[in-house]
């Protein structure tokens, strides 16, 4: 799955280098030269991850990081700070402002990609290409295949994304609005009952191997994917 990464970096050469490498790694790249541009892009489309330079003209990266973390809509977006500074107190300040990781310049493209992967794995595992297995249910993001106890299951594209999200976020209850944000994207306007339609289809797709029981309806709250469903 292609992830959208916003690069906020005022030095054109570094921005270009990062953008080229991220595109090459299969990511969709959005670029901003300062905090204001970044906010405009974020308002239009919530990125899956933000790479944020510390020293920016105008509002600093750290100021933007704090404002992203205090806003309900952007609070959960994984954030990696880029900086030329290596001092320990800067690292602490960055992490306290809500950054998930911190990369000191100069860094190699290889290191950057590895750090992004690690942060996504921790913060948004549904965006990685790791195979997910819960009991005998197996989902492979690379081949887009789902199987139950070794038997292939036919799952539609939206149901696949929904299942991927559920399998990487077991036990937690998600409201329909939260599922729409996470699976459909927050800039997409879809009615909440659409979620019910796709839950129904997903259950039906998992029924042949009995894995539909993983998906529990939580009355008045939403849905939960149980790692060990009640018999």
Binding site for Ca ion (CB under 5 A): 10, 53, 55
The closest alpha carbon to 34, from 54, 5, 9, belongs to 9
What are the angstrom distances between the C-alpha of 69 and each of 74, 98, 130?
A: 6, 6, 27
Helix (H/G/I), strand (E/B), else coil: 145: strand
Taking CB positions, which residue lies at the least distance from Ca ion? Answer: 55
Helix (H/G/I), strand (E/B), else coil: 104: strand
Q: Which long-range contacts (CB under 8 A, 24 or more apart) does 190-199 make?
A: 195/223, 198/158, 198/159, 198/162, 199/162, 199/223
Place of tokens 């939580």: 218
First-to-last alpha carbon distance for the chain, in angstroms, is 33
For the CB of residue 34, give the shortest distance to Ca ion in the complex, in Å: 9
For the CB of residue 193, give the shortest distance to Ca ion in the complex, in Å: 46
Query: Rounded CA gap, 99 and 54, in Å?
Result: 11
Closer of 53 and 101 to Ca ion (Cβ): 53
Closer of 42 and 56 to Ca ion (Cβ): 56
Closer of 55 and 103 to Ca ion (Cβ): 55
Closer of 87 and 218 to Ca ion (Cβ): 87
For the CB of residue 56, give the shortest distance to Ca ion in the complex, in Å: 6
For the CB of residue 10, give the shortest distance to Ca ion in the complex, in Å: 5
Closer of 57 and 156 to Ca ion (Cβ): 57
For the CB of residue 209, give the shortest distance to Ca ion in the complex, in Å: 52
């Amino acid at each position: 799955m292609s992830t959208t990464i916003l690069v906020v970096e005022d030095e054109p050469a570094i921005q270009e280098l990062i953008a080229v490498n991220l595109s090459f790694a299969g990511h969709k790249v959005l670029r901003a030269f300062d905090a204001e541009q970044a906010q405009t892009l974020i308002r239009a489309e919530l990125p899956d991850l933000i790479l944020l330079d510390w020293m920016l003209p105008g509002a600093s990266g750290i100021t933007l990081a704090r404002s992203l973390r205090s806003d309900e809509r952007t609070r959960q977006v994984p954030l990696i700070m880029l900086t030329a500074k290596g001092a320990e107190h800067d690292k602490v300040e960055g992490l306290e402002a809500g950054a998930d990781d911190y990369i000191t310049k100069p860094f190699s493209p290889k290191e950057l990609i590895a750090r992004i992967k690690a942060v996504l794995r921790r913060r948004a595992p549904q965006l990685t290409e790791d195979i997910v297995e819960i009991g005998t249910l197996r989902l492979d993001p690379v081949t887009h295949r789902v199987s139950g106890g070794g038997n292939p299951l036919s799952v539609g594209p939206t149901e696949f994304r929904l299942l991927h999200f559920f399998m990487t976020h077991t036990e937690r209850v998600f409201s329909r609005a939260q599922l729409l944000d996470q699976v459909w994207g927050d800039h997409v306007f879809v009615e909440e009952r659409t979620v019910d339609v796709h839950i129904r289809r997903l259950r039906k797709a998992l029924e042949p191997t009995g894995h539909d029981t993983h998906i529990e309806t939580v009355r008045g709250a939403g849905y939960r994917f149980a790692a060990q469903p009640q018999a």
